[in-house]
Structure formats: structure tokens, C-alpha cells
Structure 1
Amino acid sequence: MLLYTFSIGFAQKNVLVEELTGTWCQWCPRGIYYGDSLCGTYDNVIFVAIHCSDPMENSTYYNASGLQGAPSANIGRHFLAQETQNWFQKVEQENQIPSKVSMSVTCNYDPETQQLTANVGAMALENMSGDYRFAAILTEDGVTGPAPSYNQTNSYSGGGHGPMGGFENLPNPIPAERIAYDHVGRQLLCDYSGVPGSFPTSLQANQSANYEFTYTLDENWNYNYVRVIGLLIAPDGTVENAVKSPYLNDDETAAPLFTSTPKTEAYANLNYLYNVYFHDPDPGDAYVTIRILEGPDWLTLEQYDGQSAALYGIPSQPGNYEVRLELNDDIHSPTQDFTIVVDEPLSGSWEYVGQRGFSQNSFQVFGIEKDSEDNLYVFGNENNTPALYKNAAGTDLWEQMGNISTSCSVSAGGMDMASNGDVYVAYSDQGDTGHAFKWDGSQWTPIGSSFSSVETHIVLDNDDLPYLVARDVNQGYKGVVFKLESNSWVPVSGTGIYAPDVEYACHQDLVFDSNNTPYISYADYMTNNTLKVRKFEGGEWVAVGNGIDNLYFYQSMALDENDMPYLAYCAYPSYQLRAVRFNGSDFESLGDNLAEGAVSELNACFNEGKFTVAFVNEGQSNYLSVLQYEEEWSYVGPSLVSEGSMDDPCITATDGALYVAYSDNGLQGFASCMKYAEAVILYPPTDFAAEVFGNDNVKLTWNLPIEGEPNAYKLYRDDALVATVTEMSYEDYDLPTGSHRYTISAVYPQGESVQAGPIVVETTVGIGEQEQTRFNVYPTHVTSTLTIESGVQGTLTLYNTIGQPLMTIQINVGSNTIDVSSLANGVYFIKSTQGTTTRILKF
């Protein structure tokens, strides 16, 4: 049985700093920075982070501390509720107060039973009397947990509030896998004020006293990072002195730890990227380094600093690849082991539209639209000013479209596009005033007059009539819908309130069906955070189905081709992605926990009949993910799309292509836009064959491709183009004696297909023998069994579309049956070893 026993004693005065903090606290990164700075400056500071209202909370400790504001701290329990700017000064003052005791702590810990015994001792440095008491606290370093509960809110992100120890370079919030929490106050081992009677009422100089504490550690705590803090509390409730034990594994320093979860998904011919994050609870003078102990040759590791690195590369072959990473701080060398599963190449890809981070400043995306000429528009809040950017079709350039306002601080907004390409935008400013404008390609024109509202969005109906959805300040912030008449905003019905029984309707989404009936989805936060849908019918807003309980802020609605509403939303308190659809009477589930972890902001649309949702994948460091539903859910491309954390995804679909614009936290919150399109497979002709006649002439024949309608066919002899034809045959005359190699491609509006063939012919003798090697394959669209008829015995090879051989087939003269049920759906080529004939198959 492993048992740790150790003791430590101090004659020096140690200063206890107890800080109130929380993951929800936007200014608490300042407390983390100041706390680490104190510990780095003074070797006698013992720091405790008392968490409240987050998963690390110890309510007893929090309530007893008396602290209310975060971040603030009690220093030595002499100086109470001190703001961070006073910490250094108060520690200096506390250091000037001499201690009457030296302290020691002896610990025994059994990892099997999780039983801890801690003996806290004190030796008097002078004669003492009074109600002194022993106390003890358990703290843990390196605490991590899942998003979003362990995300740290960070108002210093972007540097707008000045530098703050590097937190200005981190996103807001800081994803859970990019942060670990140190000094976490896990447990008071007694009352906050100590154990009554645990210390003699009088003690002479050089005499000692001690008290034994016992505790069973929580199974979720890692004892390798847990310490015991022993205290002697003075009669006035202040800390006479304190002592800190080594970690319960008897180490004076803790091992660095990985805080990120390995990315195990990859695809052939697509870049793999795992952003690796790690943390050192005891940074000291050692710099944590990282290296690959085991991994494939295609992987490269690049370390950025003592907290992060990137593991990346492009795999060429599918397969499973074992990886082992190692951290090293000159003492410890923990490892992270995982398997990268590389699948077959994807059928499509995500690519940036123009440059990544195309805006001029940080940008909160409100909407994205594409016009009939393939120009893209993105609207949002750029550095607290409304801004519209345009990407001209076929270019990489994003250009800002005029100036909507130079004095308005934007809080929320939306956009839509008319059938003629005019762009309509609306937004609320920080003064709770709503504004609407139209961009006609050359200038901005106000739409209607301004109005008192928040969460203002604009939507056009099927006739391009603008509608506004907002929360009306003058009507108690109730949800309202207005439409434009004679350049004035008038309520759709009555006062415009679509849900008079709802005191607090927000996070609204307005869409129109094919009959121009408006549907609105919204959150009712006065009734179990319920997601509700209404439509305007018969002159009133009527409920569509029953409400869906336990919404957490984010939801989005889209209608299918039958005008049935589909909704995606973030559930509470799990923060999981869920989806429902209306079946004519009520909403039915399309699945729970679709992202297998927490999500936040999301936006939905339909793309070629598929309900598609773009969302912030909080469980994966706030990366962009896109899911689509067609009888079952699947990711569009890889599960993680963006190169780093992001916010505010907005999605649109047109002509089978998806576009997502978002705030790119990897580039200081600038706007980025990505496009996904299925790879267009340009199929070559089928049944390509050759026949020699007249000794020096060749007749080439072929059939249509298995899919597509080519405009023409290109024929190549010995790799040189000899003809472009529209017919299904071609005769090549007067060939020189010898071997000739023919290939053929199909020409489409999108480009030229790969070449079918080659077929090799001899223009001297042996033509009849070569013809015997031709073979027939059917069916062309294969399900599970392939039939091959051959004139000779030989070998065939099956290839995928990138030329990789997948199967070698031995054939006999006559009919041969081949089982291909193990192959994935796709397009394949089959070719004889004699090289005379090639067939194209689709499974």
C-alpha cells in the first residue's frame, strides 16, 4: 500500500491571501494575474482562490469569508475586501506585523482510501495567552473541467482595458481547455474561525502545540495537486501565521498538465490541426517544453510559448496513427496519448472567402447574404459602429460599403436582401434606439424613423416588404413585430406585441413561409426558459405547437419546403445542441446532444432540403462546427471548421454552397467568412474501346459518362491532343507503325474530367489478340456484386478517384462475380493489367 508521510515547518511569517473569484466574473482574470504576481514576488504569500457561483464553489467558505465583490481579497484577515490595486501594499503591511509562532504541518495520505491526516503545529516565539485556534484549508492546483462551466469570462480580451498579464491576448470567454485554475479553496477542515479549544489558553515561549485534522478527499480531486494550509487564528479573528504543505504526493512542485483534449479526427489530403494547451501550476524558473515521443512522419509540432503549441500536418493515407506527446519542466515529464483516425478524403471542403480576418477591426457578425450575381455581404458591429462588407464575385477582396453611422455604438442587429440585390440592415444602439437603413449599391438610405428598441432585426417578406422584430422599450421591452408602410413602421397587429402574455420575450427569429405568413420563434424567460413559436394568421398571432422548456438563450428557426418549422437550440442546464421540427400538431425531437458536448451561439438554414446548423462548439474550444440533418445528423466537412475559437456564426445557403461568417477570435475578433461546397466530380466517358482497321487506322468508341452532360470530348494519342469532338466515336487515320496510347476526357462547363484509359494499340500485327483482352463490367451503378466478363484470363485492379489501388481481382475467361460490398459509396475505376480497357463504376 502506498502511503505518503511528510512534514514541513516554518519560522517565517507567512501571509494568507484569500480572494473571491468565479468563472463568470469578467474582471477576475485580473485577480488571477495579481495572485500569480504576488506568489512570484513574495515566497511567503499563501494564496487561496475562493470560488462562488461556479463548479468550484465551496459555499461554506465563501459565506464565511464575508467577501462580496470579485475580485477582492482578505489579506491576513486583517485587511478585508481589498481591491486588487491594494494587494501588494497590504501584503507589505501584513509582513510588518510580527508573528508570535512558527508553524509546521505534517501530512499522511493514503491514495487507496483517500484518507488524509494533517497535523498542524505551532511553537510559541513568546509567551502567549488567549483564545487562539488551529484551522486548516485544502487547496487544489491545476483544476480543469468541461465547457462552458469552466470557461473564464475575460473582459480584458482584445486589449480594450489595457494589458493584463497576457489575458488581453486571450478570447472572451477563455475556453475551458485553455485554462486551469490554481489555489482553488476546496475545503475548510473546520470552522472558518478555527477549532475552539484546539490551542492552549496559555503557552510559554518555545513550547509547542498541535492539532490533528482528518478528511476523506473527494474522488474528483487530484491529490497530486492538493495541499494543506495550516493556520493559527488569533483571538481577534486574524491569522497569526500560516503554513503550506507540499502536495499530498510529497512533491514540492506539481507536474505540468495538458488542459486540451486531443483532436482525433482527420481526413486524407486535408490539413490536420490540434492546438495543444498546457499549464504549469508551479512555473518557477523552469520553462515547460513539449515534444513528440511517438507519431507519424507527416506530423509537425510547433511550440509557441510555455502554454501552447500546434500539432499539424497533411496525412496522405487513411489509417490509425498513434501519437504520444510529452511535457517537461526539468522535473516531471507527463505524456498525452491518443490515436488520430484518418478517414478517406472528404467529398467537399471549407475554404476562406477572401482573406481570413477581412475586416479592419474586431467585428460582431449580425448576418450574411448572397445576391443573384454571387456577391457576398456581411453586416455587423465593427468596433462599436455598424458596418457592411462586400465580397465581389470571383475575387478575394472584401470592401466596406460606405458609412452607415459614425457615432452609433451598436449592441444588436440583423440584415436581409431584396430580390433586386438591395441590402437592408437594422440595429439597436447602446441607447436602446433602433435604426434601419437600405444600401442600394451606391448609398445608404434611412428606412422609416428611429424607434426605442433593443435586439432589433430586419426581415423581408416574399414581396420584399421590410419587417422589424425587436423588444419595444416603450412597451416594457415586450417582443414586437412591425412592418414598413409609407416609410413608417406600423405594428403588424394592435400594438405590435406578438405575445402579450409573455413578460420577457427575447432572442427572436422571424421567417416567412411560401404563403407570406410570418412565423416567429422566441424565448419566454418568465416561463421555464421556454422556446415558443407563433404565426400571424387570421389577424392574430397564434401558437404553433407547445412550448419547449429549458432553453439557454440561443435558438434559430428555418422552414422546410413544406413550410414546416425546424428549430435548433441550446438547452439548459446541459448547454447541449438540440433540434425539433413541427409535425403538423406539435414539435418532435430530431435529437439531443447533437455536438456531444456544450454549444452556445448558433444559426440555422436549409440547404438543398437539409436542415443545417452552424454553431460555436464550446466543448471543442469554441471552434466553428456545422451539422446538417437528412434523416440523420452528419457534420458538413470536418467536425471542427475554423482554425481557432470564434463567436457569432451566421449562415446562408445558395446553389448547394454554404457560407458562414463569424467573429474570428484567433485574429483578435476580426470577421472571417468560409465557404463549403461539395467537390464537383467531372466524370469521364465510359466503355472506351479501340479497334484497328486497315493496319494503320484506329476507330475509337465510347459511351456517355455515368453522370453529367459533357459539351465535348477530348482525345489524346501518346499524351498529345488529337481531336475535340461532340460525337461518340472518332477515327484516327494513317498512323505510323508501332504502339499507340489513347486516352479520352469529357469537357463540361466546369472544366475537363480526368482521362479514361489508356488503351494501347499496335498498328502492325496482333490486333485480334489485343481485342481479346477487352472486358465488360456491369452493372455500372453497383450495390454489392460486380460482374466481369472477359475474353482472357488475367488480373484487374480497382482504383479510387485519386488513383490509389484498392483491390486486385483475378479473372477467368467468361463471367466472374466479385463482392464489393465492403467498399464505401463513391466512384471507382477498374483497369486490366494489359492496359487495354478501363471502366468507371459508381457504388
Structure 2
Amino acid sequence: MRKNIITTLFSVLFLFTIVSGAFASPRNVLVEYITGTWCGNCPCGHQTVNTITSANPNTIILAYHAFGTDPFRNFNGNEIVNLLGLVSTPTSVIDRNVFIGTLSYPLWISGVENRYSSSPDSPVDIVITSKSFNDLTNELTVNVNATALDNLTGQYKINAVIVEDNLIYQQNFYSQCGTPGIVSNYEHDHVTRNMVNGAAGENLNTGNNWSMNQTISKGFQTTIDASWIPDNCRIVLFVYKEGSTLRTSEIQQAIQEAVTGTTGITSNNSGQVSGYELSQNYPNPFNPTTNIKFSIPEDGNVSFKIVDISGKEVENYVNGFLQRGSYNVEFDGSSFASGIYFYELKTDNFTDRKKMMLLK
């Protein structure tokens, strides 16, 4: 009897803690680094960020091309290179919390790992509430909600950045990074194309306080340049707390999403996928957002949807062709009632279903 009473009290206290406070948001570390097509050391940096994203798929990368005759160096907001003090290539800064000098590639990896282990949760949640892309005008419109998950003090800002992957252009190599010389058909990823609201972004909160559970809405509109391929572009959004310099203005959270396609699902195809997998959502229980990761080892038709406890479909994220790779779905339960929901992944060769709980 005494054991049952203690168990019941623990359960009540656990639920009270969940319902009375905001949920933590799993951190997505942002790595910003300087690179160049002319730079022979830079392929080592590219290889390092691929290692990082393979081990930590939710890590977000911004590559700032700079100096020389690099054709990707001229982008709106390129003063970010000087503001972050990135004066040699390749140099990185991790969440604007750790600065790592040139050629110290193992420290990039350990810096990211340490950030996840020492600060696994973010005090800010960012959700894309709507997104539209006009195929005729190349105009992208994105609406975002940023929510404080704790009582925060200071000035918080948000940046919106367009990046492009799979850019084929030459790259210089030094021997430590591969066969020395110029590679003419090198693939450049994470290339920063446009810092939509400038290098410093714009204010979120007013005054010096951002109250727990307070949501601030922002809208961004930009045009994807005709020379860019929209299907290769992503929008990256990140929130940082303003410090004495931009390099010490710690990033609180970052998210990314494809410019085209369904809102709420992003891909990370930099690593090898060995089999089908549907992971348990995190956090769980959650309020209002949670992340669900899945992997498919071959191209094909894929269905991913969310249903309520009665079996009624509440969200359909994809029902069509997907390339092999790893994907992340961010489910926003803001407009749904508390309760049990199920998410389901189906392909021609695989089916799996898991349960999650929304508690408001």
C-alpha cells in the first residue's frame, strides 16, 4: 500500500511539473564557418562538417564563402564574415559560443559534441507556421513563431538565411585534404546565398524581458534568384541573444527547412543510410512541438502521417516520392487538443507506427 501511494504521488508530481511549465526544445547546434573555392585547406573543413552532420543530423551548417575571386562571396549580409571575426580559412564558430581557429578540424567535432552534451536543450522554440513558394515569381514567404521556454532577459534577435546545396564549381585542394590541385566539378553545400534580414537580423522581444510561453510571430519574404535552383535551397532560421559582439552573441536555437516541398519536414542526406528506421519522437510528452526522425535506404514512394487516437488523420507530411536519406519531421500541436497521437511511416517495403503524447 505504501509503495502504491508513493508511486501515485510521484506520478502526480511528474504530471504537475509537465503541465505547469514549458517543455524544453532539443537543441539544434549551428556551425558557421568561412571557406573559399580558392582555399586548398578548405576541403578539410567541408569533410569535417560532413562528419559532424552524419553523427548529429540535426546540426545546421552555414558556409560563408569569402575573399579572392570566389563567385559565392558576394551575398546580402556578407559583412557577417568580419562581424564574426572570421579572418582565415577555414575557421568556425559553434553557436557563437565556441570559436575555433583555422586547421583545428578535430576541435570542430569535439566542440559540437560538447555543446550538445553540456547544453542539450534550448530555451527557445522556433516553428515555421506557414510557408509558400511561387514557382512563377520565385517568391518565398515564411511565417514563424518563436516561443520562450523560460523567463528570459536581454535582447533576442532572429535571422533568416537562404542557403543552397549541390553547387558544382571548381575547388582547390592541398595534399592534406586530398589529391592536390584543382577539382573542376566539386560539389559545394551549405552555401550562404542571402541573409534575408541582414547580417545582424532583427529584434524579437521588446524591452529586456521575454516571458515564458510568450510567442512572438515574424514573417519573411524574399525572392530566390533566377540563377539558384529552388529545390536545392533551404531557409535557415536562428535566434540569438545579443552580446557585446556578434561573435559572443550566443545562439539559442536554429531550424531549417527546404524552400520547396512540405512545411515541417527537412532532409539530411550527407550520411549513409543502412536501413529503414522510425525513431521515437523527442521530447515526449511534448507541448507544443516535437521532432520525429526517420530514414529510408532507397528511393521510392513514402507516406508519413499523424493520426489521433480515433484513427482520424490530423497531418499528412508526405505522400509521394522521396530520395533515400534521413529526414526530420517537426510536428506542431498548437492547434490540437491534449491526448495520444500516432505517427506512421509507410513505404513499399516497410511500415512502422509509434505513439506520442501531447500535454498542454
Letter in 2 for 1:103: I
Is structure 2 residue 172 aligned with structure 1 residue 172? no
Q: 224, 239, 242: which is aligned to 1:235?
A: 242
Alignment of 1:240-255 (within 5 A): 240-250=252-262, 252=265
Mapped to 1, the partners of 2:266 and 2:151 lie a distance apart of: 36
What displacement does 1:37 show?
0.4
Does 2:189 align with 1:182? yes
Write out per-residue CA displacement over residues 337-369 of structure 1, whole angstroms, 9 at most, x where no aligned residue. Answer: xxxxxxxxxxxxxxxxxxxxxxxxxxxxxxxxx
For 1:94, which of 115, 129, 147 is the aligned residue?
Answer: 115
| CA drift at 1:39 | 0.4
Q: TM-score, normalised by structure 1?
A: 0.27
Residue 81 of structure 1 and its aligned partner are, at CA, apart by: 4.1
CA distance in 2, matches of 1:203, 1:107: 25
Q: Are residues 73 and 86 of structure 1, via their aligned partners in 2, closer, same or farther at CA, if it must alter by over 3 Å?
A: same
Q: Aligned partner of 1:91: which letter? A: V
1:608-623 map, 5 Å: none
Aligned AA for 1:33? Q
Matches within 5 A, 1:658-669: none
Q: Which residue of 1 aligns with 2:36?
A: 22
Displacement of 1:241 = 0.9
Aligned partners of 2:251, 2:188: CA distance in 1, in Å? 25
Task: Summarize deviations over 1:705-732 as a string: whole Å, max 9, x none.
Answer: xxxxxxxxxxxxxxxxxxxxxxxxxxxx
Match of 1:85 in 2: 106
Q: 1:30 to 1:43 in 2, by over 3 A?
A: same
How many Å separate the matches in 2 of 1:208 and 1:79? 28
- Measured at CA, do residues 111 and 61 of structure 1 come closer, stay the same or move farther in structure 2, by a change above 3 Å? farther
Q: Say if 1:126 and 1:206, in contact at 8 Å, map to a contact too.
A: yes
Aligned to 1:647: none
Structure having the larger proportion of residues in helix: 2
TM-score by length of 2: 0.61
Report the equivalent of 1:222. Answer: 229
Shift in Å at residue 45 of structure 1? 1.0
Instruction: Report the structure, 1 or 2, having the larger strand content.
Output: 1
Matched residue of 1:116: which SS? strand
Alpha-carbon separation, structure 1, partners of 2:81 and 2:59: 20
Distance in 2 (CA, whole Å) between partners of 1:52 and 1:26 is: 14
Cα shift at 1:120: 2.8
Alignment-mate amino acid for residue 56 of structure 1: F
Contact persistence 1:47–1:183 (CA under 8 A): yes
SS of residue paired to 2:122: coil
Residues of 2 paired with 1:250 and 1:48: CA distance? 22
Q: Which amino acid aligns with 2:124?
A: V
Cα distance in 1, alignment partners of residues 218 and 26 from structure 2: 20
Aligned-residue Cα RMSD (Å) equals 2.5
Q: Which whole-Å CA distance do the structure 1 matches of 2:270 and 2:258 have between them?
A: 12
Code of the aligned partner of 1:174: V
Deviations 1:761-795 (A, max 9, x none): xxxxxxxxxxxxxxxxxxxxxxxxxxxxxxxxxxx
2-structure distance, mates of 1:180, 1:139: 14
Name which of 197, 205, 216 aligns with 1:199.
205
Give the conservation status (yes or no) of the 8 Å contact 1:223–1:249. no
Q: Is the 8 A contact 1:67 1:81 kept in 2?
A: no
Query: Is the 2:156–2:239 Cα contact (8 Å) retained in structure 1?
Result: yes
Find the aligned partners of 2:250 and 2:26 in 1 and give their Cα distance: 17
Q: Which residue of 1 aligns with 2:54?
A: 40
Q: Give the alignment partner of residue 111 of structure 1, picking from 135, 140, 163.
A: 135
Shift of 1:49: 1.0
Q: Secondary structure at the match of 1:214?
A: strand
The more displaced of 182-191 and 84-93 is: 84-93
Residue aligning to 1:212: 219
Distance in 2 of aligned mates of 1:41 and 1:283: 8
- Within 2, Cα distance between the matches of 1:225 and 1:25? 24
State how far apart, in whole Å, the 2-side matches of 1:84 and 1:63 are.
Answer: 21
**How far is the alpha carbon of 1:209 from its aligned partner?**
1.2
Aligned partners of 1:199, 1:107: CA distance in 2, in Å?
Answer: 23
| 1:12 counterpart residue number | 26
Question: How far, CA to CA, are the matches of 2:79 and 2:272 in structure 1?
Answer: 32
Q: Partner amino acid for 2:187?
A: A
Change beyond 3 A, Cα 1:45–1:208? same
Structure 1 residue ranges without an equivalent (≥5): 1-9, 145-149, 255-279, 288-327, 334-843
Mapping of 1:590-629 within 5 angstroms? none
Cα distance in 2 for partners of 1:56, 1:250 equals 28
Counterpart amino acid of residue 63 in structure 1: N
SS class of match (2:52): helix
CA–CA distance in structure 2, aligned partners of residues 72 and 286 of structure 1: 32
Question: 1:199/1:286 Cα in 2 relative to 1: closer, same or farther (>3 Å)?
Answer: farther
SS in 2 for 1:104: strand
Q: Distance in 2 between matches of 1:244 and 1:220?
A: 21
**How much does 1:227 deviate?**
0.8
How big is the shift at 1:122? 1.6
The 3-state SS of whatever aligns with 1:245 is strand
Asked whether the equivalents of residues 21 and 28 of structure 1 are also in contact (C-alpha less than 8 Å), the reply is: yes
User: C-alpha deviations, 1:385-412, integer Å up to 9, x for none?
Assistant: xxxxxxxxxxxxxxxxxxxxxxxxxxxx
1:171 Cα deviation after fit: 5.5
Distance 1:281 1:184 in 2: 16
> Equivalent residues in 2 for 1:305-344 (5 A)?
329-330=299-300, 331=321
Which of the residues 36, 51, 72 maps onto 1:56? Answer: 72
| C-alpha deviation, 1:329, in angstroms | 4.1
Structural mapping, 1:697-712, within 5 Å: none
Residues 347-386 of structure 1: pairs in structure 2 closer than 5 A: none
Deviations 1:786-823 (A, max 9, x none): xxxxxxxxxxxxxxxxxxxxxxxxxxxxxxxxxxxxxx
Say whether the 8 Å CA contact 1:61–1:187 is kept in structure 2.
Answer: no
* C-alpha distance in 2 between matches for 1:131 and 1:94: 22
Task: Kindly provide the CA deviation profile for residues 56-110 of structure 1, in whole angstroms up to 9, marking residues without a partner as x.
Answer: 1133333333201111111101112443221122112322234211221242211
Number of residue pairs aligned between Structure 1 and Structure 2: 241
Partner letter of residue 135 of structure 1? N
Q: In the TM superposition, what is the alpha-carbon distance from 1:247 to its structure 2 partner?
A: 4.0
- Bigger relative contact order (CA 8 A; separation at least 6): 2
Distance across 2 between alignment mates of 1:11 and 1:124: 10
CA drift at 1:191: 2.8
Query: Aligned to 1:65, which of 81, 84, 91?
Result: 84
CA contact (8 A) 1:120 1:211 kept: yes
**2:171 alignment partner, SS class:** coil
SS in 2 for 1:224: helix
Give the whole-Å Cα distance in 1 for the aligned partners of 2:98 and 2:80. 17
Which residue does the alignment assign to 1:350?
A: none
| Deviation by residue 1:102-145 (Cα, 9 ceiling, x = unmatched) | 2212422112111111223222111123211111111111112x
Work out the CA distance in 2 between the residues paired with 1:72 and 1:100.
27
- Greater Rg by CA: 1
Contact 2:50 2:271 in 1 (8 A): no
CA contact (8 A) 1:13 1:102 kept: no
CA distance in 2, matches of 1:217, 1:247: 9
Structure 2 counterpart of 1:140, from 161, 164, 186: 164
Q: Which amino acid aligns with 1:220?
A: S
Q: Indicate conservation of the 8 Å contact 1:101/1:241, yes or no.
A: yes
Q: How does 1:682-831 map to 2 (within 5 A)?
A: none
Task: Label 1:253 to 1:122 Cα distance change in 2 as closer, same or farther (>3 A).
Answer: closer
Question: What is the CA–CA distance in structure 2 between the aligned matches of 1:126 and 1:155, rounded to whole Å?
Answer: 47
Distance 1:332 1:104, change over 3 A: closer
Task: State how far apart, in whole Å, the 2-side matches of 1:151 and 1:136 are.
Answer: 28
Task: Note the alpha carbon deviations across 1:558-607, whole angstroms, 9 max, x for none.
Answer: xxxxxxxxxxxxxxxxxxxxxxxxxxxxxxxxxxxxxxxxxxxxxxxxxx
